[in-house]
Amino acid sequence: MKPRSFLLTLAAALTLSAASAVPVKLGNVPVTVEPNARLLTLSAAGIRTAFPSAAGRPDAVFLTEDRKVSVAFEWRSSKLAKNEITTLVEQFPSVIRAQVPNVKSLKASLVQVSGTPWAQFVFTTPGQGDELRRELLVTSAGGRMLVLTIAGNVKDYGRNEAVIRALANSVRVN
């Protein structure tokens, strides 16, 4: 995890631009968001540097001004129908526990964002000096799985929560 954080910081320092407050279509991802000036956008080259493996590489990444919390969007090829989101809320926590070592806390719920149902999974794991916080928001877009991942330390997330929640709440699936 530490090398990835370093790469994100390095890539962010080299390839960031300030996000605007107007609605933005995220490339090939069927999503429109309204980022504000307190968020930075990682360029395509920065994403490739921060996520060298094409497997699991997000399609779009925003960072907080302090570069401590990332918000990544990934439109996966995995199939997911809208009527499967509730089942995902019930079944995916066991997958997280099986795949993520040392999960300390895990909360799963169904939330609505701009009228779209999302499965929300918030979990923490031990970290150096502070717990790591991950939030996965998963919905169906075009019959495929759309994943929004919010990642950072618990304290860093707390300091940036208003900006992150504003971005997450602005997401509109096209």
Whichever domain contains 164, its CATH number is 3.40.1000.10
Domain count, the chain: 1
Query: Residue 18 — φ and ψ, nearest 5°?
Result: -70, 140
Phi, psi of 142 (to 5 degrees): 60, 30
Run of H or E including 49 = helix 44-50
Q: How far is CA 84 from CA 30, 88, 140, in A?
A: 19, 6, 9
Q: What is the pLDDT of residues 134-144, one digit of tens each?
A: 999 999 999 99
At 51 the pLDDT is 87
Q: What is the 3-state secondary structure (H, E, C) of 102-156?
A: CCCEEEEEEEEECCEEEEEEEEEECCCCCCEEEEEEEEEECCEEEEEEEEEEHHH
Q: Which domain holds residue 147?
A: 2-173
Coil/strand/helix, residue 174: coil
Q: What is the mean pLDDT of the chain?
A: 88
CB–CB of 79/28 below 8 Å?
no
Counting residues of the chain whose pLDDT is more than 90, the rounded percentage is 70
Mean pLDDT, residues 138-158 taken together: 96
pLDDT, residue 11, reads 45
**pTM of the full predicted structure?**
0.86
- pLDDT at site 129: 87
**H or E segment to which residue 94 belongs:** helix 85-99
Supply 125's token pair.
């794991």
Beta-sheet pairing, 105-113 with 116-125: antiparallel
